[in-house]
Structures are given as C-alpha cells and as structure tokens.
Structure 1
Amino acid sequence: MLAKDYRNNFIEKLLPLYDVLEAESFFYIILEDFHQMKRIDLALNPTYVFSEEDLAKWNSVLEKLEKEIPIQYILGNAHFYGLEFEVNENTLIPRPETEELVEWIIKNNEFSEEIKILDIGTGSGCIAISLAKNLPHAKVFAIDVSKKALETAKKNALKNETEVTFLIKNILETEDLEQQFDIIVSNPPYVRNLEKEEIKKNVLDYEPHLALFVEDNDALIFYRKISELAQKNLTENGQLYFEINQYLGKEMIDLLEVKNFKNIELRKDIYENDRMIFGKKV
C-alpha cells in the first residue's frame, strides 16, 4: 500500500478523537520512528510503499491510538530539550512547558562555576538529565519515591551519556537532604482532583496519578515541604525553581515569601499560563 494512501486512512480513522493537525502529527512521528523518514522525505518519494509487515505494525499503533493511549507510551519514547527519553506507565510524559523551566535554569547558570543541583520527583529524569547534559560543570542529583521510575531514569541517563546520582526517597517523609545544593528544582504533583475534568482522557487514564494529583484541600503540600527543605539545604544565594499549577501563581508567591525566599519571580509558559516560579535563599 502506498504510504501516502495509508496516511489519509490513518488520519480519517482518528478524526473522531483528535483534530486533523494532531492526527497528522501522530502519522509523522510514527513515520520517523518506524522508517527514519520525515515529512519532506515522503513528499519527495510519493511512491513509497508500506509492506504487509509495515502495515501490521502501523495498524497495531492505530488501534492503541483509538483507545487514546499516548503516542509516547506506544512508541516507548519522548523527546525533551533535544534529547530522547524512554517513557512508560511509571513516568509522566515530558512536556514543552517543562523545557521552559530547564531553559530558565540553564540560562541562569551557564557561566557558573561548579554547582550542585537536586531534582526532586525526577520521574523519567528529563529535568536532571537535560541539566547534566547542558551544564557540564554541574553535579546533578535526582530523587523519586517510585523505584520503577528511577529504573527508567537511570536508563535514560546512560542513553544520553550523562552522570546523575539517583536516590529513592519520599520527600514528604524527609526531614533533611543531608547535603547542601546550589539549585533545587521540582515539578511535583500539582493537579487538584477538582481539575480532573480538564484533563484529557489520554492523560487521566494512562499517566501515573501518583505523579499528577494532590488533594483539593492541600494542593501545595509538596511545595511547602520542598521549600522548607530548601531553606535548610540550599547554599547561601541558592536557587529554588518549581513548575506549578497555573491557577495557584499568587498562592505560590505567598508561600515562598512566608518561607523567606527573596527575588521571587513568577513566569508564564508558552500558553500564557502561570507555570514556573523562582526564589533565592539569602
């Protein structure tokens, strides 16, 4: 079957669930993963044919997409900050907004001398590994409560040729981080149960709830705990970065002020939502 004909059928089958642009993007993501071809390659080779074996693989992916399983979980990988990461049901899928947080940290520290960084709730390791890759003078540590997530993160560090020290730890039960860091960063669970109706089925049904949700009556539980630890375990002028719930920007500013952080800065993401915050220990 001609690949261009299969493309049309593929998009048509997904249209009840996804818009045209998203369905088309899935096709080209799979095309590159299965055939190492980009959109331009197919355009320049309109007679390219999918074999019976190819079609079986494509149809298997299509069936999973029709169940709204995330494309990254189907293929087993996701791209983040120019790197490729293994992802699975134990890890969140890295998102573009988090790339902006990583970019902020790199820009603020690319000319620093040797520094120590801690990523709390590392998941796939995307933040820690991206920082280790782009800040070669940094010594990077990462913790998570999930043993299976850490196993995936360790694979990703090897895959991306970076050195990160991974530790299993429940941050809510931690009283001291036992060493000093120049930077602490975290993208902790922050979606309230009341916001579940805003979450797409492919996220709600397949991504790990442990890494996503917090109780409505204590939505800042992780931020409060990490801020307290940061006051103990950040060096003088140490930096604290969070990805946050878009609806709780003011509350996060208030929290960091109460915890005695200075130079607090709230930033919006590419979608104009309050998404990340910075504070300095002085």
Structure 2
Amino acid sequence: MTLADLKQNFYNELQTLYSQDEIDAIFLIYLEDKFDLRYSPTQNFEFEAEANEDLIALKAGKPVQHITQKAFFYDNLFYVNEYTLIPRPETEELIEIIRNDFPKEEKLSIIDLGTGTGCIPITLSKIFTSAKVSAIDVSPEALKVAQINAKNLTTTIHFYQKDLLEELIFDEKFDVIVSNPPYIRNLEKAEMHQNVLEFEPHLALFVEDDNALIFYERIIAFAQNNLTNNGTVYCEINQYLPEETKLLFEKAFRKVEIIKDLSGNYRMLKSTEIK
C-alpha cells in the first residue's frame, strides 16, 4: 500500500462524516503524529492493519488526537486522552492576550482553574519563565495527563485536585487567574460534532441550561478572595452569552472587557479592579 492508497481509504471511509478539507487535515495529523511521516504519494506504507483499525475508530467519530494521543498547541505537542479536552485554537488566542499584557520577565503568580491537559499553565510557564504557576482540576485522570505534559515539556506546575464548584481555599493571592471552564449549554449540543459529544469529557464541557454561568460565579468568588489588588482574571466564555457573562463580572469588577476571537465571536473576557 502506498500513502496515496491510504489517503484514498480515508476519503472512502470518512466522507459521510467530514468535508474533504477536514479529511485532508485528519489524514495529515494522523500520518505525522502517529508515524512521523510526511505525505509522499508513492511512498510505501507498512502499517496497513493498524491503519484499518484506526479508520474504524475514526469512522465511529473518535477524534484523531485520541488515536495519536497528541495535540499541537502553541508550538508544543501535548499528550491527550479521553479524560481531557483536546486543546483548541481559541485557547491559544486567550494565551496571546495574557502574553501581551505582561513583560516576559515579570514574576507573576498564576493559577488556572480547570486545567485539563495543562495546556494553559504549561504554556504560560514557558512564556513567563519567572512565574509561579498553579493549576486545579476536579478530575484525577485529567491531572495525571497534565502532570505528564508538565514533565514532558520541562515546566514546574503546582497541581491540585480541587472542585471549582466547592470553596477553594488558598493561602496565597494570584496576579493572574485564568480559566476555560465548562460553559456549553445542553441546548447547544445539537450544533456539536459527534466526535465531541461522544468522545470528549462532558464534565469539562457542559452546564445546565438554567444555570449556564455557574462556573463564572465560582471564578468571581475565588477572585474576590485570592486575586491581588492589581490582578486580572481571564476567561473563555460562551459566544452566545457574552453580555450576560459581562454583566455578572461587572457586579464584582470595575473593568470588564469582552474580546472577539479571530472568527469575530465574543469568546474571551478580561476583568480587573475588584469592587
């Protein structure tokens, strides 16, 4: 079998699930991240049986990143599995906002609330090399993934298994509180792809329709106790609830800004100056 044959198999098996461009992207990710191969149509491919098994999983909706157990984020490869969300490009935009707000040498104290793969705190630690960086997650399985990534990417992160929906007690205050919490309402599930609904952890994604901002309420409560006087809170938000989220933060902060992503949707929030 040549790589051209393998590519055609991907088209044949996945065309009912994905567009041609999406299949192209999945195929290249699969080839590069699992086998460290670059596409050359005539090159022989020796792993046909393994690829056939993987295609069955892909056709069932399994994300390619769960098959390769790798996801590229902000110039680094992260280990991922079924217990963590696959890092998204929108989160890179959140990182970029924080990066532009502080000198790289500043000795920041940073905490990520709901860390998953650890992509946020690890990336911030690599940018702000003098920072002290902490992170929490309720899932012990997710924390194991984050710890593996911190080790693989040679960063020191202080991880804690804690539930954001319960009272968080920390003796220290933080210059930066950052979070990409669950915010997708159940009513929005119809818009989502099968590979997200069936294979990514619902614990990290969804909230009840009638209490969609519950995690932001907890982030605000934590900030009121643990944000430094000049500190800043950065969050990803639901693009359908930007004004509602902003109004909630304005009850506790004097300055609240909602920020559009590259697609023109309000996906980030920044708040300073606790009342």
TM-score normalised to structure 1 length: 0.94
Which of 29, 44, 62 is residue 49 of structure 1 equivalent to?
Answer: 44
Q: How far does residue 110 in structure 1 lie from its aligned partner after superposition?
A: 3.0
1:1-282 superposed matches below 5 A: 1-39=1-39, 42=40, 46-51=41-46, 54-111=47-104, 113-259=106-252, 261-282=253-274
> Can you give the 5+ residue segments of structure 1 that lack an aligned partner in the other structure?
none
Change in Cα spacing, 1:57 to 1:29, as seen in structure 2 (3 Å) is same
1:171 is paired with a residue of what secondary structure? Answer: coil
Q: Find the aligned partners of 1:117 and 1:216 in 2 and give their Cα distance.
A: 30
Aligned-residue Cα RMSD (Å) equals 1.3
Deviations 1:47-98 (A, max 9, x none): 31112xx111211211111001011111111111111111111111110001
Deviations 1:214-249 (A, max 9, x none): 111111111011112102111111000010111110
Number of aligned pairs? 274
For residue 17 of structure 1, what is the amino acid of its counterpart?
L
2:116 is paired with a residue of what secondary structure? Answer: coil
Q: How far does residue 204 in structure 1 lie from its aligned partner after superposition?
A: 0.5
Q: Find the aligned partners of 1:163 and 1:147 in 2 and give their Cα distance.
A: 18
Q: Find the aligned partners of 1:110 and 1:47 in 2 and give their Cα distance.
A: 49
Q: Find the aligned partners of 2:144 and 2:9 in 1 and give their Cα distance.
A: 38
Among all aligned residue pairs of Structure 1 and Structure 2, give the percentage whose two residues are the same amino acid. Answer: 48
For residue 8 of structure 1, what is the amino acid of its counterpart?
Q
> Can you give the 5+ residue segments of structure 2 that lack an aligned partner in the other structure?
none
Q: Find the aligned partners of 1:76 and 1:161 in 2 and give their Cα distance.
A: 19
Q: How far does residue 35 in structure 1 lie from its aligned partner after superposition?
A: 3.5
Q: How far does residue 179 in structure 1 lie from its aligned partner after superposition?
A: 1.3
Q: Find the aligned partners of 1:175 and 1:120 in 2 and give their Cα distance.
A: 10
Q: How far does residue 271 in structure 1 lie from its aligned partner after superposition?
A: 2.0
Q: Find the aligned partners of 2:213 and 2:34 in 1 and give their Cα distance.
A: 42
For residue 32 of structure 1, what is the amino acid of its counterpart?
E
TM-score normalised to structure 2 length: 0.96
